[in-house]
């Protein structure tokens, strides 16, 4: 059945007000509808836009949107898409002008994609000129978060694109420290091979308990 403004309006009354709560619920509902993945992404954007402004007059499916509010909606939706691994939604949002804005904790879409081990979205965001050395409120870069999770493919991508390998967070940890602390020997070997410094106290404390081959 074609999604209409009236249909959206009737659904909004049952939706929570937080975008973080809205997003997964919309994905779940819309995936049950027979449509292409591109149409799914389009519908997600429309739902988010309406849910962000439930008191706005409802017009035709796209015509009733407050265009001035869309940049904020798109950017916040991109954070959720990157966190949840929804590539088609992320691509649509970027195509429609979503920015690489950070959330309340200073995390950008790239932070979320790297932390959640979503390689294709990470590659998409890098291709769309995301800041690969952006830091969140704890001073963590996407590379640090990827090292914490042990995703070697994402780490390789970020390093090859020029990410700062020895970036230090507010607790004094580097990507190498994160890999050592969380037990990721493959990441350790890769980072050391690509010039990561091994003289931090956190690395020394953690690495002495692990075998790291050169």
DSSP for 22-69 reads: HHHHHHHHHHTS---HHHHHHHHHHHHHHHH-TTSPP-STTTTS-GGG
CA distance 125 to 140: 17
What is the predicted pLDDT for the residue at 144? 97
What is the predicted pLDDT for the residue at 134? 97
Give the length of the chain. 214
Q: Which domains does the chain have, with CATH numbers?
A: 1-99 (no CATH), 105-214 (1.25.40.20)
Per-residue pLDDT 10s for the chain (214 aa) are 334 445 544 544 554 455 566 666 666 666 666 666 656 666 666 666 555 444 343 333 444 444 444 446 778 888 888 998 888 888 888 887 888 999 889 999 999 999 999 999 999 999 999 999 999 999 999 999 999 999 999 999 999 999 999 999 999 999 999 999 999 999 999 999 999 988 755 555 555 444 444 4
pTM of the full structure = 0.69
């Amino acid at each position: 059945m074609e999604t209409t403004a009236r249909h959206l309006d009737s659904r909004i009354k049952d939706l929570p007000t937080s975008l973080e709560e809205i997003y997964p619920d919309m994905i779940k509902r819309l995936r049950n509808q027979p449509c292409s993945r591109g149409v799914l992404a389009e519908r997600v954007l429309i739902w988010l836009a309406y849910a962000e402004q439930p008191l706005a007059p409802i017009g035709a499916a796209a015509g009733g949107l407050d265009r001035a509010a869309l940049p904020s909606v798109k950017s916040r939706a991109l954070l959720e898409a990157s966190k949840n691994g929804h590539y088609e939604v992320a691509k649509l949002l970027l195509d429609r002008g979503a920015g690489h804005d950070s959330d309340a904790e200073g995390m950008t879409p790239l932070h979320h994609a790297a932390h959640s081990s979503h390689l294709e979205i990470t590659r998409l965001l890098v291709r769309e000129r995301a800041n690969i050395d952006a830091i969140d409120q704890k001073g963590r870069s996407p590379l640090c978060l990827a090292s914490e999770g042990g995703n070697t493919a994402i780490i390789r991508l970020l390093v090859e694109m020029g990410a700062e390998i020895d970036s230090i967070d507010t607790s004094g940890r580097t990507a190498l420290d994160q890999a050592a602390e969380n037990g990721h020997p493959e990441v350790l070997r890769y980072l050391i091979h690509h010039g990561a410094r091994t003289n931090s106290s956190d690395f020394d404390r953690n690495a002495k308990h692990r075998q790291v081959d050169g």
